[in-house]
Amino acid sequence: MTPKVVAVAGATGLVGRQMMQVLEERNFPVKSLKLLASERSKGKTLTFKGETIPVEVLSEDSFKGVDVALFSAGGGTSKKYSPCAAKDGCVVVDNSSAWRMDPNVPLVVPEVNAHDIAKHQGIIANPNCSTIQMVVVLKPLHDAAKIKRVVVSTYQAVSGAGIKALDELKAQTLAILEGREPECSVFPYPIAFNCLPQIPQSDAFADNGYSTEELKMVNETKKIMGDDSIRVTATTVRVPVFSGHSESVNVETEKKLTAQQAREILSKAEGVVVQDDLSKQLYPLAPNAVGKSETFVGRIREDVSHPSALDMWIVSDNLLKGAALNAVQIAERL
């Protein structure tokens, strides 16, 4: 692969830093790296492959001569600057929700629909973290038995809400253990020792009662899988886990799959690791997934309430496969 000039927009955030780490670990052919962020990060430096690189202020002229830009700077920023980058001949892989449902922008998980990358017009969308780990597992089952309906409940780590949210979880945990009243600024209620059925924490619910995160999972799953006939419903919950998203997923298929057939199919699937041995209490756990590139699935069992449905437990590193790694994998396929 020819060395590329790469930019990371939102470089000082959790996902931006993770993108840099993934580029380095996977030895992506970086000719030079440009780090971009808001005015607040002006003067900061970050290290890449032993080199200290200054963080530049993101502007409309930041992408001249850049081949690939990985964006993780928020939806509004992406809406403003991604077209500028594309106009200058740079291909944007955007981690925000800004472009995901745009019919002219591919929404890609490489293990599922890498073929859609070729349709890009300068911008490629990186899906929601919870959607990514779910569809990596669903696609092989869909190919084998055609999925009719998906019911998912998520248990999402605090790192998905950013650095300030992680700091809030730490501070609240300490406060409660010391008998003090926890203070809230990121979340509407304490996240320590609690579960919040509202993601993202700052958005109002839709008129139908769904959160925006839940609607993302519904709509993105259909687009990535390329099948609008799949019925999807979701309940998304923030839990007091630092990193690693977990999901309880019920899948109804047109053709019956036994639990053993599902295990065999998934054991051969790209990017999936089956951890499912109840005799050894082996099943996926969020802490064990942190730092791993794969998506883990276990507790695979046949639904006792339905003749052609399966229940399973899916876990992945939300900052890695759920964001940074998936974006870099798209860039590699480019």
Confidence label for 297 from pLDDT (cuts 50, 70 and 90): very high
Residue 164 CB contacts under 8 Å (≥ 6 apart), including other chains: 185, 186
Mean pLDDT, residues 28-54: 94
> Residue 158 carries which DSSP code?
G
Distance CA 135, CA 217 (A): 10
**Is 184 known to be catalytic?**
no
pLDDT given at position 35: 97
Catalytic residue among 84, 120, 129, 142: 129
Residue 63 CB contacts under 8 Å (≥ 6 apart), including other chains: 7, 69, 81, 84, 85, 88, 90
Asked if the model's pLDDT at residue 109 lies above 80, the reply is: yes
Catalytic residue among 84, 90, 142, 245: 245
Domain with CATH 3.30.360.10 in the chain: 131-318
CATH class of segment(s) 131-318: alpha beta
Mean pLDDT, residues 64-68: 96
Across the chain, what does the average pLDDT equal?
96
Domain with CATH 3.40.50.720 in the chain: 4-126+324-333
pLDDT given at position 202: 80
pLDDT in tens, 155-179: 999 999 999 999 999 999 999 999 9
Contact call for residues 318 and 291 (beta carbons, < 8 A)? no
CATH class of segment(s) 4-126+324-333: alpha beta
Asked if the model's pLDDT at residue 43 lies above 90, the reply is: no
Mean pLDDT, residues 267-279: 97
**Is 245 known to be catalytic?**
yes
Confidence label for 42 from pLDDT (cuts 50, 70 and 90): confident
User: What percent of the chain is modeled with pLDDT above 90?
Assistant: 96
Asked if the model's pLDDT at residue 1 lies above 80, the reply is: no
pLDDT given at position 201: 85
